[in-house]
Structure 1
Amino acid sequence: MSNVFSGQPTCQYISHMNLQFDLLAIINTLGAFQCFLISLALFSLKTGNRTANRYLAFFLLTLSLFIFDEILYNSGLYQYYPYTYGIGTTFDFLLPPFLYLYIKALTVQDYTLKKKEAIHFVLAAIILLLSLPGIFQSSAIKSAAYLNDLQENLNLGTFEIVFSLVFQIYIGSYFVTALVKLNSALNNEALDKDIPVKFKYLRGLIIAMLFVLAVHIFFFYTPWFDETADVYLLFLLTVIVYIMAFTGMRQSEIFTADLLKINPQKYKKSTLTDEVVEKTLSNLQRLMEVEKLYLNSDLKLPDLASQLKVTTHQLSQIINEKFEKNFFNFINEYRIEAVKSILNDPASENRTMPDIAFEVGFNSLSVFNSAFKKVTGLSPSEFRKQS
């Protein structure tokens, strides 16, 4: 393909390129539009893991823009409408991080993007900055640059080939990491038995992307790779989009299911005694209600288990079975109750929501807002108005 996977255009036209908008181009265009519509639907979705859905929406939006860019390139339309020519490579560097972060948001409880994780977008930012001078050129200059780009890439040098290989490895590493992370989460015995089935489509999506990458790598380094192979590889991506859209329409719950939903039956072979359970529950209640450990924003499962003198696995089991929730939801519910008490106090009417959220142990406003609405059915501001 001209950008993604190889970073190099694959066309044999030099001084002029005739328009080639055939049936495949129409199918690919409709697929890109479908991808765009799915992304809009996910952005507006109010249920399920909203953080994960946003990353999936960004991934699909970027994928739709990438497909449009490839269609403009391969059909020759860029020769006559070069307005966005030069920006397409940025999409290549955005696709892998968005897919990876989608998987991470699905598999990490209350996930929020950390500052250090902005490194995932550094390459895309660099490519965009390098592209800006060309993007703001006149249409005539960009059209000439497009034709010149075709000519220069008929004979790839060693640098271009090595760069393409490095870029292909970059993309593949993201996809493989995402697949490993997803498989690890789906193999967790703590999940409800129907969860892995609901998320089978996602494993298929990543494997399909890896397949397209592998096919592209194979043809890119053989004499058979030309503009025809490029178009058919783009068609494969479009087919993936159609399948995903069809699956989403048939099983809308795949976008609203909670990958981290716990199955209490997983502990039926546990060796925990009733005596240990009761003692731990009593001490846990004391730590939460008397010592208010939930106010510590850095509180982690191992920290709490250490104070209770049980293993993290045992504490996780007790919380899962006795409260039918995971550790984070358990802690956050105490924090939400503390917030409700503060909001019901007339003396706190002038306090800001961030101030209250941080006081009770939240270290992220997005997590606070999501947790509050999950527990109360209202946003913090709506609850305050009703108090």
Structure 2
Amino acid sequence: MAAFFEQLSLIITNAGVVLGVFVTLLLTSKSVRESRANLFLSILLLAMSFSILHIQYAGRVINHFSANVFSLGDPTFLLIGPLLWLYMQELTGHRTRWSFRLMLHFIPFLTVILLSTTLNRYFSDSTAVAFLNGHRGWLAISFWVFMVIQFSGYLYLINKRWQAYRQLVEQEVSNTENVSLAWVQFFMGVFLGILLFFLLVLLNLIHHGNSVWVGRTIAVVFSLSVFALGYKGILQKEIFHLDQTQTDVVPPSVSVPTPEPEIRKPDQQLIDRLLRFMADEKPYLDPELTLSSLAKRLNLSRSELSQLINEGVGNNFYNFVNKYRVEQVKAFMNNPAMKHYNLLGLALEAGFKSKSTFNLIFKRFTGLTPSEYLQTLSK
């Protein structure tokens, strides 16, 4: 049985390396729309693939110099957090520029490499070697404590940035299917799982000191993560490029035109004009409706319309538009001419783009699912 699991893990890890390299080549190929975010995602996948390869073969098949150093831990692990952060920066419109400040993210990675390659060289006397070997367990625990703290810190920053970006997106688009929301939630879930596994490794080292299974298990976990990211990435075109709507909501710190002066107090006449336009022209039926496109049709600036909706109506653009779509679906449900449409058909006719978003928004405004609401009409 042990031989079977060993062969299975070998197959999984080898396949993980191959898939990681394949997705990297796919992301960087000329046929894929260029995106700076893809660069960091590609480096992240390569780092994970290299870590799998190194765990699997270093010192067993490949006998290079790093197999003989005093290892504090795999330094590649310390690349995952910074690369995730840089990927999120690019994905949310914050352009990453190479600088000394950027290099600070990689100091832990470089430090572990430096220490690992110099400890045996400069502490070659028997006393120093005996001391290092005698405290190898504590050194491993220290590495994993830092690893868990660093990874947790980056995931916290990523989640904080993502929540701010979601609020920003809801000020611009009326449908979020094209701005990678599901993709980001998915990959954050994958790396949260990796963090929990790292924490499990740390607790095992503290209480049992057994690290025999750690390397092979990490290789399998990384491989399964690469499978998930590669599979989801191939299915989700949003991984390959940022939709244009995302560039409309880039914060002013990035290269965008100077924002226009804000209106101090929303004009009631403008509010009435907006509400009449929504009722008469029904722009919400367009699933691609954005704040910028609606402002153009109203002959207003983007900032004027944004403040008009936020302060005059008391809602963000996303909820403002989708509330009209929910009311339109309810009207369709009461229209005998629409009886041949199913619920998804009614949602698409009202401007929604997916069943999941429709169900979520409908229940948010009515307190009932579309099916439950339809049953109340039947009664």
* TM-score band w.r.t. shorter chain: 0.5 to 0.7
Q: 1:90-239 to 2 correspondence within 5 Å?
A: 90-131=75-116, 156=136, 158=138, 160-187=140-167, 188-189=169-170, 190-191=172-173, 192-194=175-177, 195=179, 196-223=181-208, 225-239=210-224
Distance 1:263 1:160, change over 3 A: closer
1:199 counterpart SS class:
helix
Residue matched to 2:295: 322
Residue matched to 2:21: 36
Say which of 10, 15, 27 aligns to 1:25: 10
Report the RMSD for the aligned CA atoms in angstroms: 4.3
Distance 1:100 1:110, change over 3 A: closer
Residue matched to 2:363: none
Once the two structures are superposed, residues 263-291 of structure 1 have per-residue CA deviations (whole angstroms, 9 ceiling, x without a partner) of: 99xxxxxxxxxxxxxxxxxxxxxxxxxxx
| Residues in 2 aligned to 1:162 and 1:201: alpha-carbon distance in whole angstroms | 30
| Residues in 2 aligned to 1:204 and 1:160: alpha-carbon distance in whole angstroms | 26
Alpha-carbon distance, 1:44 to partner: 2.3
Once the two structures are superposed, residues 134-185 of structure 1 have per-residue CA deviations (whole angstroms, 9 ceiling, x without a partner) of: 89x9xxxxxxxxxxx9x96686454553343123212221233223322432
Once the two structures are superposed, residues 324-375 of structure 1 have per-residue CA deviations (whole angstroms, 9 ceiling, x without a partner) of: 9999xxxxxxxxxxxxxxxxxxxxxxxxxxxxxxxxxxxxxxxxxxxxxxxx
| Residues in 1 aligned to 2:77 and 2:133: alpha-carbon distance in whole angstroms | 18
Residue matched to 2:228: 243
Gaps of 5+ in 2: 122-128, 267-289, 304-379
Give the TM-score taking structure 1 as reference length. Answer: 0.53
Alpha-carbon distance, 1:98 to partner: 1.0
Gaps of 5+ in 1: 1-19, 138-148, 265-296, 328-387
Give the TM-score taking structure 2 as reference length. Answer: 0.54
| Residues in 2 aligned to 1:21 and 1:254: alpha-carbon distance in whole angstroms | 33
| Residues in 1 aligned to 2:18 and 2:109: alpha-carbon distance in whole angstroms | 23
CA contact (8 A) 1:42 1:53 kept: yes
Alpha-carbon distance, 1:64 to partner: 0.6
| Residues in 2 aligned to 1:50 and 1:119: alpha-carbon distance in whole angstroms | 24
Say which of 258, 261, 283 aligns to 2:246: 261
Residue matched to 2:64: 82
| Residues in 1 aligned to 2:159 and 2:90: alpha-carbon distance in whole angstroms | 13
| Residues in 2 aligned to 1:36 and 1:134: alpha-carbon distance in whole angstroms | 33
Amino acid of the structure 1 residue aligned with 2:84: L
Q: Could you list the runs of 4 or more consecutive aligned residues of structure 1 that deviate by over 6 angstroms after TM superposition? A: 297-301, 324-327
Between the two proteins, the alignment pairs up a number of residues equal to 257
2:76 counterpart SS class:
helix
Distance 1:174 1:259, change over 3 A: farther
